[in-house]
Amino acid sequence: MSDEAKLREESAGLMEYSVENLVPFGPIHPALKEPEYFKLILEGEKIVQVIPRIGYVHRGLEKAAESRPWVQNMYMFERTCGICSFVHSLCYGQAVEGLTIYEVPRRAKYIRLIISELERIHSHLLWVGLMGHWAGFETLFMWVWNDREVILDLVEAISGNRVHKSMNAFCGVRRDMPENMEDRIVERMKFITDRAHYYRDIIDSEETMLARTENVGNKINQETAQKLCAVGPMARYVGLRQDVRLNDPYAAYDEVPFDIVTRTEGDVRALLRLRLDELVVSANMISYAVKHLPEGPIRVKIAPIIPAGEHSSHCEAPRGEIFYYVKSTGGRTPDRVKSRQPTMANIPTALELLKGQTLADVPMVLTAIDPCFGCMDRMSFLDTESQKQWTWSGEQLRQYGIKHYFPERFDANRSKFKEAH
């Protein structure tokens, strides 16, 4: 079969095109920070069809989860993403908690909310910086990422880590809020609010940003967004009031007053405005939550065996709805864990947004959905046995740790550990 015939078959008659019009975008491309491949089919300068190919960083987490204890999975799923890590463990935790009889303490719910919202602010700031970068406005990128440090410092002060907070536990959180943090957090939130207003002014007046964002992106209506199952900001920027925090409150979202932001312009600038406004909403929520933090325990200890059953949970990650489904047969490990990330749900919408756009706008539009391909893919088969590369298994690493820190406990005959290189 010739290449052309094969391509025709792949497109399954969606449209007629010749091979000359096909522009490969990725998997390695300067506009993508993670490897992903988009087949762009052009007619002249305009894109008429996009076919995605994902999976370059698929890590097999769902398969791995089936052989690990329930609690270990919580910290493994946290490593799905390096930006919105907390919400993954929260959503998985909530799905598992639904199978047990225990209640989450009220103070833990508030701490969960504070961390979730801090994470949303840092994720949105990261994204605004990247949009500045792709628009050719490097100063914005540097300003915003500098402000993001403020949030990362707060996260570090609360959880001890900058990115993978490992704060969550089943039915609670692992660490309490440090004492005397209230004033500091409120002050920083005021700073973030001021900066968000300042950036709003910039994107509404700065010529570079206006030229690269105004009327960029194929405009879609609400019905299309719903049919394509868009989630999070991608649904809200066409005017849909879709937000899990509002529609199905989890953590302490039913006790903290807030209102979601929606826009109706339907271009890339609407997404920028929406996310900058969400910064203010999140900052207000955090200030309210730290002022009204209830007293009490932060955690309930639960048994390591989870009762049989199936349950699902969804949360509002910075990029949109995140969904976890767990099935237990009453053992020490789950029977099945399914995780669906917001980027996966937003890809069909992104493909629709690209239609009718020029090739030069592809980085802007693709970045506009705030893609996180590392999240979306969850499996790759690491080549551990090849002669050129070598990696240590978890057991080898553990043995190395024992040898390094507790040489008296290390037993060379018992362990499989070999000093590599």
Partner 1 sequence: MSESLLGQLQTYAAQSNSKVSMPRKGETFIEVDQDHIKDFISHLVNDFRILHLATITGLDLGENIGIIYHLSQDKDTIYVRSIVPKAKSTAVSIVEVIPGAILYEMEIHDLFGVTFTGNPWINQKLLLPDNWPADLPPPLLKTSKPAEIRKRLQLEVERK
Q: Which residues bind partner 1 (CB under 8 A)?
A: 9-14, 51-55, 58, 60, 62-64, 66, 98, 226-230, 242, 247-248, 309-312, 314, 321, 323, 325, 327, 336, 338, 340, 344-345, 347-349, 377, 379, 381-386
Beta-carbon-side half-sphere exposure of residue 99 (alpha carbons within 13 Å) = 26
Distance CA 344, CA 15 (A): 24
Please answer whether residues 158 and 286 qualify as being in contact, where contact means their C-beta atoms are separated by less than 8 angstroms.
Answer: no
- In the complex, the smallest distance separating the C-beta of residue 67 from partner 1, rounded to whole angstroms, is 8
- In the complex, the smallest distance separating the C-beta of residue 263 from partner 1, rounded to whole angstroms, is 20
- In the complex, the smallest distance separating the C-beta of residue 98 from partner 1, rounded to whole angstroms, is 7
| Angle ∠(344,27,388) on CA atoms, nearest 5 | 115
- In the complex, the smallest distance separating the C-beta of residue 342 from partner 1, rounded to whole angstroms, is 11
- In the complex, the smallest distance separating the C-beta of residue 320 from partner 1, rounded to whole angstroms, is 11
Nearer to partner 1, 146 or 226 (CB): 226
| Angle ∠(159,163,167) on CA atoms, nearest 5 | 35
| Angle ∠(127,274,206) on CA atoms, nearest 5 | 75
Look at residues 338, 343, 398 and name the one whose alpha carbon lies nearest to residue 73. 338
First to last CA, the chain: 48
Nearer to partner 1, 21 or 222 (CB): 222
Nearer to partner 1, 247 or 264 (CB): 247
SS3 400: helix
Nearer to partner 1, 389 or 413 (CB): 389
The residue written with tokens 């994902």 in the block is: 54
The residue written with tokens 């029977």 in the block is: 335
Nearer to partner 1, 93 or 129 (CB): 93
- In the complex, the smallest distance separating the C-beta of residue 285 from partner 1, rounded to whole angstroms, is 20
Nearer to partner 1, 349 or 399 (CB): 349
Query: Two tokens at 65?
Result: 């989860």
- In the complex, the smallest distance separating the C-beta of residue 269 from partner 1, rounded to whole angstroms, is 25
Between helix 268-291 and helix 182-205 the angle, nearest 10°, is: 170
Nearer to partner 1, 209 or 337 (CB): 337
Give the list of residues 6+ apart from residue 293 with CB closer than 8 angstroms, or none. 107, 110, 111, 177, 182
